[in-house]
Amino acid sequence: MSLAARVRAQAKINLILRVLAREESGFHSIETVFLRLDLSDDIVVRIVSGRSLDCSGPALPSGGLGPVESNLAYRAADEYARATGWPVGFAIEIEKHIPIGGGLGGGSADAGAVLRALDALSPNPLGPRLVELAAGLGADVPFMSIDRPMSLGWGRGERLYPLRPLDPRPILLAVPDFAIATGDAYAWLAASRGQYAPVGAVLAADALATWEEVAREATNDFEAVVARRHPVVAELTDRFRSMDALVALLSGSGSTVFGVFDQNPDDSEMMRKVAGVRTIVSQTSDRVTRVERVE
């Protein structure tokens, strides 16, 4: 009988996303507030003799996810094995529900879930050191590897300060039929700024304790440059605000736009105004789903 674990890989939004100066390494520092959603991929990790990755689900593109070795979840398992010497083999099963390339952190969520699953199964778990391993995989992966639903993030996302989660609220996700490559979004932002390098602001945890306080601070530096090239982004944020959204922003580097509401929104009303945009109704989360051992 092989060791195995199941976990939900929860999507995320950024309630605040500020992009700061570019470092000598070529990476940009960020200041952000991460928040998990109920929307999630389903992950099963098995300890076996070989190595494999199987993907299915309604959010899987018709062309698949590309080479297995390039998949972030597979790379996470490989990095865990390199760093700890365990396991020799693994089989990862992913059922995709988070849209691909929409700024909801689906690939990072999968990677973080795989790291959490492996650490739960490991004879010598890394515990808090898991964040250090996650940092080499991408800016969202460290947050996705911890058991906290909301956090401040700095640097390349590896410096995290967990926050008391906000009360769950309904969220409407509008998913255009195009993806935004993160590298393109950074290039557009850099071109719009020229030599200007913004200075970081100190995000105070006690100023982010309620949705009303978050709404006053909510911003995304990518939104304007993405909307300039894809006007539907501005149409969607304007529409959500007209529906009295508490917060309406581009998610990550796009292309998904989200609206957080006090009550369940009428997504059919929004669709009448912005035709052809798929919507997903979910909820912000105040908890992280646990890793469960399975047969």
Residues labelled as active-site residues: 12, 140
For residues 101 and 138, the answer to whether their CB atoms sit within 8 Å is no
Picking from 61, 13, 21, the residue whose alpha carbon sits closest to that of residue 254 is: 13
**CA 23 vs CA 30, 71, 138: distances in Å:** 11, 26, 15
In sequence order, the 6+-apart residues with CB closer than 8 A to the CB of 36 are 10, 11, 12, 149, 150, 284, 285, 288
Alpha-carbon gap, residue 208 to 166, rounded angstroms: 9
Cis ω for the linkage preceding 29 (within 30 of 0): no
> Tokens 């988070």 belong to which residue?
98
| Cα 61 from chain centroid (whole Å) | 18
Picking from 179, 29, 39, 45, the residue whose alpha carbon sits closest to that of residue 111 is: 45
For residues 239 and 272, the answer to whether their CB atoms sit within 8 Å is no
Which contacts (CB < 8 Å, 24+ apart) does range 233-238 have? 233/176, 233/257, 235/273, 235/274, 236/174, 236/176, 236/274, 236/277
Alpha-carbon gap, residue 165 to 153, rounded angstroms: 14
> Tokens 């865990």 belong to which residue?
80
